[in-house]
Amino acid sequence: MTKSDAIQFMDKQAIDRAITRIAHEILERNGGAESLVIVGILTRGANLAARLAQAIEGIEGIAVPVGLMDINLYRDDVNYNPDLPEVRQTEILFDIDGKNLILVDDVLYTGRTIRAALSQLIDFGRPKTIQLAVLVDRGHRQLPIRADYVGKNIPTGFDDDVQVRFVERDGVDEVVLSLAAAK
């Protein structure tokens, strides 16, 4: 696969606008930021969660608590995948009981990561609602899961590769699609 086979679907401006719009949608639906907490799924969901919280603070002036979560212990393929997943930190240092919890990930695909995240969140408490925000929905769900807030829908083939890159981790803000046929 060469670089030229990758198609850029979102640039920095598009990502910023999507995050700002999602922040407004979250505030509208939840009637403000008081009841909100945000949890991002490692690794890029955590970056996105931090940005969403920043956007919400910019609009409402309220700092929403942000946590991060590693879902690897809750994966459904632990017994099927020959490589043991690396278990990383989970940090949810606030009470989620009765909150409107915004679960954040970069890409929504099969839905299995979100299923694992939901199982794990329930072990931390009982939020009033759990709402899902993703930057990209690329389809191909294998479970009955949908996002409440979507930055962009990107039609993909099952074997294509969608990469979200954030400047704090990858040096650039962009969403790139690499076609499987080009591999």
Partner 1 sequence: MGLSTRHLLQLEGAPREDLNLILDTAESFREILDRPIKKVPPLRGKTVLNLFYEPSTRTRISFELAEKRLSADTISFSAATSSVKKGETLKDTVRNIEAMRIDMVVVRHSSAGVPYYLTQCLEANIVNAGDGAHEHPTQGLLDIFTIRRKYKKIDGLRVLLVGDIRHSRVARSNIWGLKTLGASVAVCGPTTLLPYEVERFGVDVYTNIDEAMEGVDVVNILRIQLERQQAGLFPSQREYTNLFGITAERLTRLNPNYTIMHPGPMNRGVEITNEVADGPASVILEQVTNGQAVRMAVLFLLSGADKRETDLTKTE
Least gap, CB of 128 to partner 1 (angstroms): 17
58-97: contacts with partner 1 (CB under 8 A)? 70, 73-91
Residue 13 vs 84, nearer CB to partner 1: 84
> How far is it, in rounded angstroms, from Cα 140 to Cα 155?
9
When binding is defined by CB under 8 A, the residue of 4, 123, 144, 171 that contacts partner 1 is 123
Residue 28 vs 77, nearer CB to partner 1: 77
Taking CB under 8 A as the rule, does residue 144 contact partner 1? Answer: no
Residue 128: C-alpha distances to residues 33, 61, 101 (Å): 14, 23, 8
Do residues 102 and 53 touch, judged by C-beta distance below 8 A?
no
Least gap, CB of 43 to partner 1 (angstroms): 12
Q: Which amino acid is at 148?
A: D
* Sheet-wide strand order for 161-165: 6-10, 174-178, 161-165
> How far is it, in rounded angstroms, from Cα 65 to Cα 77?
31
When binding is defined by CB under 8 A, the residue of 21, 59, 119, 179 that contacts partner 1 is 119
Q: How many residues bind partner 1 (CB under 8 A)?
A: 33
Per CB under 8 A, the segment of 7-15, 51-59, 108-116, 165-173 that binds partner 1 is: 108-116
Least gap, CB of 124 to partner 1 (angstroms): 6
Least gap, CB of 82 to partner 1 (angstroms): 5
Q: Are strands 149-153 and 6-10 parallel, antiparallel or unpaired?
A: unpaired
Least gap, CB of 111 to partner 1 (angstroms): 9
x/- letters, 14..53, toward partner 1 (CB under 8 A): ----------------------------------------
> How far is it, in rounded angstroms, from Cα 118 to Cα 129?
11
Q: Which residues bind partner 1 (CB under 8 A)?
A: 70, 73-91, 105, 107-110, 112-113, 119-120, 123-125, 158
